[in-house]
Structure 1
């Protein structure tokens, strides 16, 4: 019998008998909503929240573990299934527009069906993480100001290929970071979130602006960006045609994870626009106005945050959330949930399979 067909039959049977997600998955969702409030997301176009609620099956219970990823690819789904995780927190929504069907003909829908049949739910926080204080925007500010220092020897090894001129594709390898003394600067939100905002999150919004107290050499900031994003094989940079990279000094830096032109190109431009990607014409417009653009590939501005910040933050918060939920609900739980509430384990892992689609084939010297 076809494997996917068996999975769909098992999914149908399980959903009929157990029409709720696992208690641990509910603790994960609750934790993410409190750490990264969905009200801060760009709801006009984004799709955040619990995108797939997989049925709970007490006879084949998943581990109390979460897998963090930027993109939910087939490789990430395989990883979560092999690990028997209860949930995947995928930063980018795998369901972005309305679905008219769920079939095995579409590779992403295959992953959704397989994960549901295995009891693995999917939560996507996306732009809520961008806007939240201490989220991706502030993490990028920490990179450019030197407020964090990655572990040494983080650069991935360059492997030679059968090409006469270029290596195998090299992919960034973001590492854990430690706090450091940042270069003196001021920090502000470019597009503040409209009120009301959650208490204590008054600085929420899209994009951040760093203003150094003293202008900084562009080359020093480039070195920090390379370290903080896992040493990409190359740093795509656009500078005004009359300028030299060694002579440029930077006073203001606008940062935005992912595709940042809609956030960074409005109004007066900062000296440096640091983001994942910008179009050809937007980049030309920026350098014609005297600014520098650094765009290191869309998710290379995002992936390092998972290990540097989100993993530890979610791990700490989830422990308390799970303890509170299991203590409260176990008092009145059904017999088939008793074993789940007795499990005190709580783990958060970062995907090893997740990576940006683009690598850099380095030219041999």
Structure 2
């Protein structure tokens, strides 16, 4: 069923929000602390409308807002909520509030899914599992790549995000994936949406036979875009080359609240960040930690999975919504308000990933 039209907001924005809620149900988000959903509903002006386009980002910064305004997007889907706590005012004194006011003025809405993407089967946590197991085969950058981290320089490094690869169980890369199982660490409370019984926070990958740590780290580097370095903590007295890994706990972002609750701990904890003391506690218990800086475990998912998935869903939802309105108009049940015929006659649909979005931390490689 297509979403009903609300003249206060962009019809295309409504199609995007409906699609996001279908792909990543808000009921799966951890509402005990998270703030997900439509955070900014910009007023719609049919005579000065935005393009039928979505901009995906992890963080909604001023640079990303500038990008969305220049592109004339209808909506920004920002993984991290720009509003976490209640606001007592909206002024230009605060940079984040300034961003929200500018977007509202331009008619651009903001939707944030956050932990709903973490928990959804096929979401961010499962993508990290695919990286760990080698189920994805990203392209390898050449030494001439402008953002390559292979040559030492004083440049501020940027990850090289892998191009999405088609899923083909019969391909040679799939047959080389080590035998393993995976399960959810913290299952979502029941009832879960139909077909999402495995939803929840974090995943445990268990290999049938222990894997070399070096092989797993190589897969992680390829999968998350060849960052300038891989921060890793190992038990004192251990050797990276000798360590074998049977179980891997994965959690995007800040994973301590999920991974550190496992007993015993997985052999490897793969996440965005752990505190100093949490990492110490993990290696003292014999585990390895790979912590990439918070959003480096998240950003690649937008390109590798989410862009294509959302584009297909939005295209279908937008088509159904337009057909519903046109049918009602032909039967005299919908008024042809100024500009709306042009809006709902536009079948175009685009989902793009921000080029301005990046983790606040990079690595500067000193030339010796």
Whether these two folds match at TM > 0.5 is: yes
Residue 348 of structure 1: aligned partner? 351
2:227 to 187, 209, 232: 232
Q: Which runs of 5+ in 2 are unaligned?
A: 1-5, 168-172
Q: CA deviation at 1:168?
A: 1.8
8 Å contact from structure 1 (residues 158, 167) kept in 2? no
1:357 to 339, 356, 360: 360
8 Å contact from structure 2 (residues 210, 244) kept in 1? yes
| Residue-by-residue CA offset, 1:153-199 (whole Å, 9 max, x unaligned) | 17723599xxxx96121021212232441221001000000101000
Whole-Å separation in 2 of the counterparts to 1:148 and 1:158: 21
Structure with more strand by fraction: 1
| Residue-by-residue CA offset, 1:110-149 (whole Å, 9 max, x unaligned) | 1100000000000000000000000000000000000001
Residue 148 of structure 2: aligned partner? 157
Residue 131 of structure 1: aligned partner? 119
Q: CA deviation at 1:278?
A: 0.3
Residue 334 of structure 1: aligned partner? 336
Matched, 1:300 2:296: yes
Q: Which moved more, 1:98-107 or 1:332-341?
A: 332-341
Q: Which runs of 5+ in 1 are unaligned?
A: 1-17
Whole-Å separation in 1 of the counterparts to 2:34 and 2:189: 16
Residue 44 of structure 1: aligned partner? 32
Matched, 1:313 2:309: yes
**1:116/1:302 CA distance change after superposition, 3 Å:** same
Q: CA deviation at 1:250?
A: 0.3
- What RMSD over aligned residues (CA atoms) do the two structures have, in Å? 1.5
Q: CA deviation at 1:209?
A: 0.3
Consecutive aligned runs of 4 or more in structure 1 exceeding 4 Å deviation: none
* TM-score normalised over the length of structure 1: 0.92
Matched, 1:171 2:158: yes
Residue 218 of structure 1: aligned partner? 213
* TM-score normalised over the length of structure 2: 0.91
Aligned residue pairs total: 344
Matched, 1:188 2:183: yes
